[in-house]
Structures are given as structure tokens and as C-alpha cells.
Amino acid sequence: MNPVEAGATSQPAHPELSAPPWQPAPASALPHEVRVDGVPIRYGVSGSGGRDVLLVHGYRAHHMWWYRLLPALEERWRVIRLDLSGHGDSGHRDRYDVDVWIAELLAVLDAAGSAQALLVGHSMGGRIATVAAAEHPDRFGGLVLLDSMLRPRGSTSLRTGTLPPGRQLVYPSRAAAAARFRLRPPQPRTPAEVIRPVAEYSVCRAANADGWTWKFDQRGIPPIDNDRVVDSLTHMPVPLWFVRAGRSLVVTDEVAAYARTALPAASTFITLPDADHHFVLDAADDCDRLLADLHGDLAASIRPHGRTAP
């Protein structure tokens, strides 16, 4: 199993994603940039809430995974979202690891003027967030993991697809590239109109080629050190919610059973029974109810925006 968030496919183009021409949605714009070790990291801030939430996307994904949740989030929180390096409109690196991604989270918080935030991560983003919250509890007052893989110490790292250096998948047009987009693992119940904004944001002009390609770094992005994630859970200093999709192909029944034993005793474990791995895209009603409960449970653990620690 390879729990990839998105990517190219050899299947025929999806006819419902081939037209009409792309028009950027307001949620697709990340207007701000901060440099971390010389690499530009794009981020955005929205919402009128008194407390901050930082959203961390998954592998080969980008901030548009959250676009359907933004209206509900913005009513309660000041929402900070970003594209991690190697993803979306942020720059690429010669080397990726959890430490550099955590440095990006902290740099974005600093640039956004956030002293402390609720940290929410989907899939791989949740694994990054787990280490970040454990090692920087002064910056994160709570942690929410959305269908993130948890495996016992010593487990073999999951392999990821790569292309040789200098190679990239190239398509003749933006529409042709977007039509090749698929959610991974497969999620056939998600309507094409829901996927379209995510697919269209996922492509860009190809470098050194005539055509369009994927924004994520096609040379490959390594998996997160699983043992470090597990170790972080054992001494997690902040409140933690773990939300599992009942139909997930990532957090299977076996993974969920292990997660229940690995999470700190005071954690909140929730299953959305009819949801798939990418439920942040297509289970809007369930997510809205979840976000309301989450705010009521965790907001008190987050310092209000602009307030420093006593």
C-alpha cells in the first residue's frame, strides 16, 4: 500500500475534469511568502477568530485540500495554511525531512504573528504535526490528526514513487494535466466538481519543456521517520484528537487498533464511519460538526491571538 495523496495516473483522462477552462478560486491564493533555508514557502491567513489554527496538508498535496472547510473554520478561528516545500507553490529542496518541514511551520507562525496555534494535520501532515507538537509545545496548544498513519516502532518505511533527476511528467495543456489527477488512495465517491479545484491547482507550467506538469517534487519525497512519530506520541504534552475515516484505506482497522494503544491516555479518538481518507474534501457535513466540537473542546487550550505566554 502506498498512501499517496495525489499524482499522475496512466488511466484515461477523467472527462469531467477536462473542461471548462480553469478559473482560480479565492481559496487558491496564498498571498504571502517566507524563506526557510533559502526556499520560498507560501502561506495565507484568513478568518476572524480570536485563536489560531495551522493546517498541514499531506503527501503530494497542498493547501487546497482544506478549501471546503475554510468557511466553517474561519467563523471560529484565524486560519493559517501553507504549502510545504516540495508541494504546491512553495519551492523545492535537494533534501526533505521532518525537521525542515517543522522549521517551515514555525517560520510561517512567526511571519503570521502567531504565538500559539492549534495544529491540524491530514495524513502525512499529521505525522509531521505529531513531531512538531511534541518538540514545540510552547507553539502548539493542541493537536488534531486526521486519518494519519500510525505504525509500531521498527516498521518498514513505505516506499514512494520517484522519477529520475531532470525527468517530469509533461502534458500538452493545463486541462489535459488536471484531467489525469486522481486522489490516492482511490476515492471514487468524491464528485468531480469537488476534485476540480484541487486538481487544477496541482499543475503548473513545466520547466525546460513545452507543456504542463505537477507542482509536487517528482524526484520523490521521503517518508517521515516512523519511530520518531511513535516516540513523540509517548510524551505528547498537548491535548490530542485522532480522527479516523471509517472507510479509509490508510487508517485500516488494524492501524486504528494500534493507534488506540499508541495514543496518550487522555486523547480523543473519533471515527467518521462513512468517510474515506480524504474526508476533508467530501464529508463537509461531518467535518462541520467535528470542527464545532473540536473548537468547543480545544479552544481553551490555545492562547488568544496576539497574547504571549504569561
Q: Provide φ and ψ at 272, rounded to 5°.
A: -95, 100
CA angle 46, 33, 208 (to 5 degrees): 125
CATH number belonging to the domain at 31-152+167-298, selected among 3.90.1150.10, 3.30.930.10, 3.30.70.260, 3.40.50.1820: 3.40.50.1820
Residue 28 exposure: Cα atoms within 13 Å on the Cβ side: 13
By the 8 A CB rule, do 158 and 151 touch? no
* Residue whose C-alpha is closest to residue 98's, from 139, 133, 138: 133
Give the pLDDT score at 219: 87
Burial of 283 (0-12, 13-18, 19+ CB in 10 A): buried
Which DSSP state fits 50? Answer: S
Indicate the domain borders of the chain: 31-152+167-298
Distance CA 216, CA 162 (A): 11
Which DSSP state fits 141? Answer: E
Give the pLDDT score at 142: 96
By the 8 A CB rule, do 213 and 170 touch? yes
Burial of 18 (0-12, 13-18, 19+ CB in 10 A): middle
* Residue whose C-alpha is closest to residue 287's, from 187, 146, 182, 128: 146
Q: Provide φ and ψ at 67, rounded to 5°.
A: -60, -30
Distance CA 77, CA 131 (A): 23
Could you give the 3-state DSSP secondary structure of residue 152? coil
Give the pLDDT score at 124: 96
Q: Provide φ and ψ at 135, rounded to 5°.
A: -95, -15
Specify the DSSP element, H or E, that contains 204: strand 203-205
Per-residue pLDDT of the chain (310 residues; tens, 9 = 90+): 333 344 444 355 554 554 444 444 445 679 999 999 999 999 999 998 999 999 999 999 999 999 999 999 999 999 999 999 999 999 999 999 999 999 999 999 999 999 999 999 999 999 999 999 999 999 999 999 999 999 999 887 655 555 445 567 899 999 999 999 999 999 988 999 999 999 999 999 998 778 999 999 998 888 899 999 999 999 999 999 999 999 999 999 999 999 999 999 999 999 999 999 999 999 888 988 898 999 999 999 999 987 665 5
Give the pLDDT score at 284: 81
By the 8 A CB rule, do 96 and 70 touch? no
Q: List Cβ neighbours of 201 (8 Å cut-off, separation of 6 or more).
A: 24, 28, 62, 64, 88, 215
